[in-house]
Amino acid sequence: MGKESLTVTDNRTGKSYEISIQEGAIRAMDLRQIKVNDDDFGLLSYDPAFMNTASCRSRITYIDGDRGILHYRGYPIEQLAQKSNYLEVAYLLLNGELPTHAQLDDWTQSVKLHTMLHESVKKFVDGFHHDAHTMGMLVGTVGALSTFYPDAKHIHDAESRRMQICRVIAKMPTVAAFAYRHRKGLRYAYPDNELTYCGNFLNMLFKMTEVRYKPDPVLERAIDVLFILHADHEQNCSTSAMRGVGSSQVDPFSAIAASAAALYGPLHGGANEQVLLMLAEIGSSANIPSFIKKVKAGEGRLMGFGHRIYKSYDPRARIIKEIADQVFEVTKRNPLIDVARELERIALEDEYFIKRKLYPNVDFYSGIIYQAMGIPVEMFTVLFAVARTSGWMAQWQEMLLDPEQKIARPRQVYLGHDRRDFVPIEKRG
């Protein structure tokens, strides 16, 4: 193999530059030396939507989009979904290694210690309008948690970081469940720490008059697997928000509020909600061809299809599709599954989708499962946010401990006016 470098010739000046290549990347700052004269600022790379720019060096999640591969800390997602549980995966993402028995017990115990919310948080949730979107409530309430934990500002203190990580992972399900129950007009159900992380989440959502809520083991496991699949996905929109906002050294509760807001968008985590609305609109398999025709004509998108990174099947979608049948054995079958499967079959045979490498993504089937469990559509993105919290925290911590990271501050290519003098209002137009 030749030298690990790139020789660039600037045709404006005829000068050549040697730029080193490390781990398949050049450093954008190395372009700055390329100038037409001493007054020149130097060459920038222009990359709207960061299509080909690495903003960090990470050891957390690996994706090979062409081959449909996803690993957390080197472990294939299929193995983790089959053999692990959400809190163990969270530990892995945060610490880099699978825990021993003692470490897992300790970590699980620490999370359980923090599942309660300050009673004033309840009043905060109460303040939202009765039909407020649960994602809006989650974004607002998790941001408000920073006011309850002023010590979260000590982001350079390892012990404080560990505490906030525990707190946020423990409290996100409680905030999410309170938001759900507020919208339903139900009394809040407090955490039951005898249950597992996911069992307790189901308890806080669905407990009615029974003294003790007993989660169905199939549904509890389904939520656990869905949470594992959603736990991290490297530098996506919400994780970039976490890193970008966190780089200002704000406390992690405020940064998580920003990440959750990014996740809310319909092109990101909000897509699971859009998929269900779309499937309901299609209604039956007979209407699929006309719907596909509209999508191909540019009148809307096939929600839950396509991905910036995956250009073959999203491995998470494959696992989720398998869980659906297990869940339907316990719940009533969701008839929308037939519409979804037929939609997928037709789309995957269609030239438009084949050419653009559009396959179902993680959001295509998750909502159908959640809906069958009795979870309303507006909670889908909230569940995604609860699960992604461990990934956001792992990425936040990695960013803080990376000596190369500074406050995130992209450049721009300015295309506006040159300097001009202010025109008094009577002389304008």
Q: Return the active site residues.
A: 268, 307, 363
Please give the C-alpha separations between residue 136 and each of 165, 232, 273, 277, in angstroms, as whole numbers: 22, 22, 14, 19
The residue assigned the tokens 């193999």 is 1
Residue 269 interacts with ligand ACO (CB under 6 A): yes or no: yes
Which residue, 146 or 361, is less far from ligand ACO as judged by CB?
361
Q: How far is the CB of 6 from ligand ACO (least distance, A)?
A: 26
Which residue, 140 or 269, is less far from ligand ACO as judged by CB?
269
CA dihedral (326, 330, 333, 336) positive or negative: negative
Residue 232 interacts with ligand ACO (CB under 6 A): yes or no: no
Tell me how many residues contact ligand ACO (CB under 6 A).
Answer: 18
Q: DSSP 3-state assignment of 26?
A: strand
Residue 271 interacts with ligand ACO (CB under 6 A): yes or no: yes
Phi, psi dihedrals of residue 187, rounded to the nearest 5°: -60, 140
Which two structure tokens, joined as six digits, stand for 202? 């189901």
Interface segment toward ligand ACO; rule CB under 6 A; list 98-106, 254-262, 305-313, 418-426: 305-313
Residue 361 interacts with ligand ACO (CB under 6 A): yes or no: yes
Q: How far apart are CA 99 and CA 89, in angstroms?
A: 9
Q: How far apart are CA 422 and CA 220, in angstroms?
A: 65
Q: Which residue is nearest to ligand ACO (CB)?
A: 306
Q: How far apart are CA 319 and CA 238, in angstroms?
A: 23
Interface segment toward ligand ACO; rule CB under 6 A; list 150-158, 180-188, 297-305, 321-329: 297-305
DSSP state of 305: B
Which residue, 179 or 385, is less far from ligand ACO as judged by CB?
385
Q: Within 10 Å of residue 293's Cβ, how many Cβ atoms? A: 11
Please give the C-alpha separations between residue 256 and each of 139, 175, 195, 259, in angstroms, as whole numbers: 8, 13, 26, 5
Interface segment toward ligand ACO; rule CB under 6 A; list 28-36, 208-216, 299-307, 323-331: 299-307
Residue 318 interacts with ligand ACO (CB under 6 A): yes or no: no
Candidates 252, 259, 255, 256; CA nearest to 151 is 252
Q: How far apart are CA 162 and CA 412, in angstroms?
A: 36
Q: Give the x/- contact pattern for ligand ACO in 93-112, rule: CB under 6 A.
A: --------------------
Which residue, 60 or 358, is less far from ligand ACO as judged by CB?
358
Residue 255 interacts with ligand ACO (CB under 6 A): yes or no: no
Interface segment toward ligand ACO; rule CB under 6 A; list 17-25, 84-92, 158-166, 359-367: 359-367
DSSP state of 100: P
Candidates 44, 61, 74, 58; CA nearest to 309 is 61
Interface segment toward ligand ACO; rule CB under 6 A; list 88-96, 187-195, 360-368, 394-402: 360-368
Single residue of 198, 223, 327, 362 touching ligand ACO by CB under 6 A: 362
Residue 303 interacts with ligand ACO (CB under 6 A): yes or no: yes
Residue 295 interacts with ligand ACO (CB under 6 A): yes or no: yes
Give 312: exposed, middle or buried? Use CB within 10 Å, 0-12, 13-18, 19+. middle
Residue 347 interacts with ligand ACO (CB under 6 A): yes or no: no
Please give the C-alpha separations between residue 393 and each of 72, 90, 234, 251, 390, in angstroms, as whole numbers: 14, 9, 12, 11, 5
Residue 27 interacts with ligand ACO (CB under 6 A): yes or no: no
Which residue, 86 or 178, is less far from ligand ACO as judged by CB?
86
Binding site for ligand ACO (CB under 6 A): 267-269, 271, 295, 301-308, 356, 358, 361-363
